[in-house]
């Protein structure tokens, strides 16, 4: 290369940054003395952002192990800076974690779930009211909307056998529970062709009983339970009584002019709302128990859902009781007890959840 060409080339000057060491008067040049000092202007901001992200995840209530795993997904080189972490929880972190008891949390979930299932089962149970054991002539029971006869529970009278009592029950119940009583009576079916269990609505069954009473006025007298009543008459007495107890008075018009029938639809609606609330509350409490969070921390409303569900379920039961007359011949049935237990368990679940989150 000629001197002229060399002279015409621009001179490239390389300047090395030096680092002054406090205890050494010698300035050692990077890369020339064997020490390789790397400088990355992005390293500190990235680590600071990762630490901030880690602390934000902790503030949401996640355990440190989970927060570390989430942060490493975005910042693979992240290592927590213990000096920046405080022993106290962040201001927006719920303080329930310190005193939270897994036993209480899971017990609340289990109790509320059982309460919800009991209330749902009670909704469709046919036995909120039942004839007493000594008066179950045709095994009558009443639910929120249906009346049911189980002829397998028919009580033999006047020395007849259990088989005869069941057959007589089936013959009567088929007519009394029919939508069209006259058409059912005209069919003249044998008892072998009939079912053992019959179900109808309060209104339909009690309307048929009233028609039957109007056609057979001789049995409208003061009933003497000590006399030898035949099976059909005693079955009619039971039917009259259970219809009266659910608000359908089938005897004398003047007795019920100011009395309304049981509003089973309103009772069922309140009970249904209580069941739905209990199921929703179960989901919220379960979310809290496993340490998850929902938008707006709505999982913390689970305890109030338990309280509300219990109140609604018991209110439905009281409404049913206020609209019925539990006379001496009838007993509170399994359905009412199921609803009561479901309401109590829902309230207890709310109390446990409140104690756990307090």
Co-location of 103 and 170 in the same domain:
no
- Characterize 70-98 residue by residue with b for buried, 16 or more Cβ atoms within 10 angstroms of its Cβ, and e for exposed: bbeeebeebebeeeeeeeeeeeeeeeeee
Rounded to whole angstroms, the Cα distance separating 288 from 298 reads 10
**How does DSSP assign 36-78, residue by residue?**
-----TTHHHHHHHHHHHHHHHHHTT--HHHHHHHHHHH-TT-
Co-location of 230 and 146 in the same domain:
yes
Local confidence band at 85 (pLDDT 50, 70, 90 cut-offs): low
pLDDT value at residue 13: 43
Local confidence band at 118 (pLDDT 50, 70, 90 cut-offs): very high
Residues 258-299 pLDDT 10s: 444 455 667 888 999 999 999 999 999 998 888 888 887 888
pLDDT value at residue 35: 40
Rounded to whole angstroms, the Cα distance separating 146 from 169 reads 18
Which of 226, 255, 284 lies at the terminal end of a domain, its last residue?
255
Please, are residues 134 and 155 in contact by the beta-carbon 8 Å criterion? yes
Nearest by Cα to 246 from 285, 215, 203: 203
Please, are residues 176 and 209 in contact by the beta-carbon 8 Å criterion? yes
Q: What is the residue range of 291's domain?
A: 98-124+264-357
pTM beyond 0.75: no
| 8 in a structural domain | no
What is the percent of the chain where pLDDT is above 70?
A: 67
| 12 in a structural domain | no
The structure tokens listed for 354 are: 């409140």
Q: How many domains does the chain have?
A: 3
Beta bridge partners of 140: 149
Co-location of 200 and 118 in the same domain:
no
- Over residues 129-153, the mean pLDDT reads 78
Residues 168-224 pLDDT 10s: 889 888 988 999 888 888 888 888 889 999 999 888 888 888 888 777 644 444 444
pLDDT value at residue 325: 55
Residues 13-40 pLDDT 10s: 434 444 444 444 444 444 444 444 333 4
């Amino acid at each position: 290369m000629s001197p002229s060409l060399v002279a015409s080339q621009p001179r490239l000057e390389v300047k090395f940054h030096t680092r002054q060491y406090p205890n050494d008067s010698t300035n050692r040049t990077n890369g020339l003395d064997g020490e390789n000092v790397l400088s990355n202007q992005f390293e500190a901001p990235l680590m600071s952002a990762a630490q901030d992200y880690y602390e934000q995840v902790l503030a949401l209530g996640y355990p440190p192990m989970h927060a570390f795993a989430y942060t490493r997904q975005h910042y693979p080189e992240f290592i927590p800076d213990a000096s920046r972490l405080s022993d106290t929880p962040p201001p927006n972190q719920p303080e329930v974690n310190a005193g939270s008891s897994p036993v209480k949390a899971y017990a609340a979930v289990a109790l509320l779930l059982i309460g919800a299932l009991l209330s749902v089962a009670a909704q469709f149970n046919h036995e909120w009211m039942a004839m007493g054991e000594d008066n179950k002539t045709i095994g009558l029971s009443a639910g929120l909307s249906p009346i049911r006869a189980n002829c397998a529970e028919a009580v033999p009278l006047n020395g007849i056998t259990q088989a005869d009592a069941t057959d007589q029950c089936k013959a009567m119940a088929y007519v009394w529970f029919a939508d069209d009583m006259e058409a059912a009576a005209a069919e003249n079916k044998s008892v072998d062709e009939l079912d053992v269990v019959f179900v109808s609505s309060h209104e339909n069954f009690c309307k048929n009983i009233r028609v039957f009473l109007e056609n057979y006025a001789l049995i409208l007298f003061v009933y003497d339970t000590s006399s030898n009543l035949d099976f059909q008459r005693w079955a009619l007495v039971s039917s009259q009584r259970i219809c009266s107890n659910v608000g359908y008075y089938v005897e004398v018009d003047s007795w019920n002019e100011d009395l309304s029938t049981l509003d089973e639809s309103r009772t069922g609606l309140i009970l249904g709302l209580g069941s739905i609330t209990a199921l929703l509350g179960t989901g919220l409490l379960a979310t809290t128990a496993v340490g998850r969070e929902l938008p707006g921390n709505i999982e913390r409303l689970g305890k109030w859902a338990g309280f509300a569900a219990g109140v609604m379920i018991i209110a439905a039961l009281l409404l049913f009781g206020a609209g019925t007359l539990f006379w001496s011949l009838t007993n509170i049935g399994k359905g009412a007890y199921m609803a009561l237990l479901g309401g109590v368990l829902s309230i207890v679940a709310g109390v446990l959840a409140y104690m756990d989150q307090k």
